[in-house]
Amino acid sequence: MTIAHVKELVALMMIGEGVVGTLYPVRYARLWAKGPRPWNEFIEWWADRPGLLRFICAAEIGVGVWLADRQLPPPTHSRGEVFMSRMSA
């Protein structure tokens, strides 16, 4: 597995986690509420602020898409060239 594959997997996980956190912020935060009391208090802090958590998860989606996009090979030609070649055929 290459570094590009690892980055792609990380990007896909970020996108998926971001979608779930954006749609269900309180449920998503409380999913992580397992552990010592300080950790659970930290998680409850996030659960009490669903708007902030949604914003951060939406940003995570954007970063995940950006990271995935950077792993694609560069195009060999522009989309306009492909469209024009199909039109003339």
Per-residue pLDDT tens digits for 12-60 = 999 999 999 999 999 999 999 999 999 999 999 999 999 999 999 999 9
Cβ pair 29, 56 in contact under 8 A:
no
- Domain boundaries of the chain, sorted by first residue: 3-88
Angle, in degrees to the nearest 10, between helices 3-23 and 50-69? 150
Contacts of 19 (CB under 8 A, 6+ apart): 57, 61
Residue 79 scores a pLDDT above 70: no
